[in-house]
Amino acid sequence: MADVPSYYPQGPQLPFGQAVALGLGAGAIGVAAMTASNKLEQLVTGRPNSYVPAHTTGNLFGISRGRTPDGLNHFHHWSMGLITAPVRAIMAYNGYTGPYASFIFMALRLTADEVLEYNNGTTPPPWTLPIMDQTVDLLHKFVFAFVSGYVCDRTIQGVRYFGRDY
């Protein structure tokens, strides 16, 4: 099916500040989707929880590794989602929309995590991790980026990915 030009954004549908605020909401929706995909994947694969996010946050704030790892995991995921998603909102505001923009945003989200994890001594460089760990991380960041991106594109630019309203 060919794209119809009228589906491309004609310009921002709202003020810049409102777009950034919508990015926060898109980030929350993206993190919720990522969390759900994570739990579904763990149910299918039998993989246990990873506490890399908790250890990263603990190292960053000087919190002992034994203290509330699940809470620190959630804090890490939610804060990273809320910090990065406004960037995707700014992309949408400026006309960078669609799956390609979400793919670029996924790289930003991965980079943000990897910089924190590596520079806090939590993990080695990502390309040295086992392939399964890399795959799982990419899968869940994909879910976050594409769900957040869809919400940003739809609410900020009115972009309809599938050619009609659902």
pLDDT tens track for 14-43: 999 999 999 999 999 999 999 999 999 999
Q: What is the pLDDT of residues 102-141, one digit of tens each?
A: 999 999 999 999 999 999 889 999 889 999 999 999 999 9
Q: What is the mean pLDDT of residues 58-71?
A: 84
The pLDDT of residue 20 is: 97
The pLDDT of residue 166 is: 43
For tokens 């760990």, name the residue. Answer: 133
Does position 3 have pLDDT exceeding 90, yes or no? Answer: no
Does position 96 have pLDDT exceeding 50, yes or no? Answer: yes
Q: How far apart are CA 88 and CA 75, in angstroms?
A: 20
Does position 164 have pLDDT exceeding 90, yes or no? Answer: no
Backbone torsions φ then ψ of 100, nearest 5 degrees: -65, -45
DSSP the chain: -PPPGGGS--S-SS-HHHHHHHHHHHHHHHHHHHHHHHHHHHHHH-PPPP-HHHHHHHHHHT--TTS-HHHHHHHHHHHHHHHHHHHHHHHHHTT--HHHHHHHHHHHHHHHHHHHHHHTTSS--GGGS-HHHHHHHHHHHHHHHHHHHHHHIIIII---TTSS--
Token pair in block for residue 165: 């309203």
Give pTM, 2 decimals.
Answer: 0.89
Q: Sorting pLDDT into bands at 50, 70 and 90, what band is 9? A: low
Mapping DSSP onto H, E and C, the string for 119-161 reads HCCCCCCHHHCCHHHHHHHHHHHHHHHHHHHHHHHHHHHCCCC
The pLDDT of residue 118 is: 92
